[in-house]
Amino acid sequence: MNSELLIKNGRVIDPTNKVDKVCDVFISDGNIAEVGKVDKEAKDVIDATGKLVVPGLIDMHVHFREPGDEEEETIASGSSAAVAGGFTSVVCMPNTNPTIENETDVEYIHRKARQTRKTHVYTMGAITKERKGVELAEMGFMSEAGAVGFTDDGDGVQDPAVMLRALKYAAMFDIVIAQHCQDNSFVSDGVMNAGFQSTVLGLPGMDALAEEAMLWRDIQLVKKANVRYHSQHVSTTGSIELVRSAKKNSLPITCEVTPHHLLLTDECCEDYDTNYKVSPPLRRQEDIEALKAAIADGIVDALVSDHAPHLQSEKELEFLAAPFGIASLECALSLYIKALIEPGVLDWSGLIALMTSRPANIIGVDKGTLSKDKQADVTIIDPDAAYRIDVNKFRSKSRNCPYNGWEVKGKVEKTIVGGEIRYSANGL
């Protein structure tokens, strides 16, 4: 390739290497060659004065809807949205149509991503065939094909015996099992958080216990199987307490949160606006406070978007019938700045770690740092640039985003993948 790119005078934040200082980043042939004061000349130079220069952001929970629902999102459209949001790596969930459940399915995702050439696209495979919770999917073959974890996301694995078998099987490959914790017996036809608001609105509720009961059960299973386990989109005070105590007992358990569970509550559902219909549902203010406290304490391991695009025609259905999900990949970074940096829950280094190195460790990919000789995935951010979220500018095919019109900060200036500028705010 023989290319050189010099990023000058940015505030370089690389939590793994404990770097947070104004300096330069020199990229040669697609890899990080030097971080520090660089006196070399380069063919291409970016002046990053006043900007943050960080390892490329990683989102370990997105839904790109391909195969099966390409009208909502494709790997190409989702990848364009990803780089516009500063993400150089994403992990697709396997709840597509058909389900990602064997090595051919995994290879299909990788092939589509290669053709798109935007962001790195990884995928998790399903834990059970067709996510029915009965028969284990071909986890071994999927692992060999490059799946970075397993989940039946969208549903939790209901049968504890099946879940235990899955955990023991995954332990053989040292690959993470991720769970959408939801015990369906506490949810049935629920569409929002169970509580005062659901009663007022006359909508069937989803009890916090549904999440907590499955998480508690899984923690007991993890003790038996001793495998890495990841609790997806934790949303309740009780879940946080469970993760906190599991970590205290040194169990190999990690967890993630979403922007919506930090910024929105079940009161948002009062106008029956289906853009607020999401699973797990929006909870209460006190749950937001518990999540933020856990983030400040280091209990939370990853910040994700859970980007879940849907057609407008589907979201226009009544609240009971509309699908669950919020599309937020392009504004996730700004939402996290609003939720965590602005109120002082995290500093920049803490935020970047939760969006780079820590999720990289969970999914076992050699990314998320600016270490010498690593592939040069770099995001350049203008931290103070204010803008208004406008869904009509999304590269995503979907518009189901309740943050439309919000004033936020933190603009992605450039997204560099493998040393190549794949997104630039002023056009390529």
Least Cβ distance, residue 375 to Zn ion (angstroms): 29
Please list every residue from 162 through 191 that binds Zn ion, using CB under 5 A.
180
Q: Which is nearer to Zn ion, 138 or 153 (CB)?
A: 153
Is 152 an interacting residue with respect to Zn ion (CB under 5 A)? Answer: no
**24, 152, 153, 306: which is the annotated catalytic residue?**
306
Number of residues near Zn ion (by CB under 5 A): 2
Q: Which is nearer to Zn ion, 77 or 279 (CB)?
A: 279
- Write out the two tokens for 41: 């000349």
Least Cβ distance, residue 323 to Zn ion (angstroms): 12
Least Cβ distance, residue 95 to Zn ion (angstroms): 8
Q: Which is nearer to Zn ion, 73 or 153 (CB)?
A: 153
Show the beta-strand stretches assigned E in 100-243: 120-123, 177-179, 192-193, 205-206, 229-231
Least Cβ distance, residue 182 to Zn ion (angstroms): 8
User: 122 forms bridges with which residues in the sheet?
Assistant: 91
Least Cβ distance, residue 205 to Zn ion (angstroms): 18
The long-range contacts involving 224-228, CB below 8 angstroms and separated by at least 24 positions, are 224/164, 224/167, 224/168, 225/164, 225/167, 225/168, 225/170, 225/171, 226/171, 226/252, 227/167, 227/168, 227/170, 227/171, 227/177, 227/252, 228/170, 228/174, 228/175, 228/176, 228/177, 228/252, 228/254, 228/362
Is 153 an interacting residue with respect to Zn ion (CB under 5 A)? Answer: yes
Give the span between the Cα atoms of 299 and 117, in whole angstroms.
Answer: 34
Q: Which is nearer to Zn ion, 30 or 280 (CB)?
A: 280
Q: Which is nearer to Zn ion, 19 or 327 (CB)?
A: 327
Q: Which is nearer to Zn ion, 66 or 153 (CB)?
A: 153
Give the span between the Cα atoms of 90 and 123, in whole angstroms.
Answer: 8
Is 228 an interacting residue with respect to Zn ion (CB under 5 A)? Answer: no
Least Cβ distance, residue 60 to Zn ion (angstroms): 12
373 is catalytic: no
Signed CA dihedral, 290, 292, 298, 299: sign only: positive
Stretch that binds Zn ion, among 125-133, 139-147, 153-161, 336-344 (CB under 5 A): 153-161
Stretch that binds Zn ion, among 23-31, 100-108, 150-158, 328-336 (CB under 5 A): 150-158
Give the span between the Cα atoms of 188 and 367, in whole angstroms.
Answer: 40
Q: Which residues bind Zn ion (CB under 5 A)?
A: 153, 180
Catalytic sites, residue numbers: 306
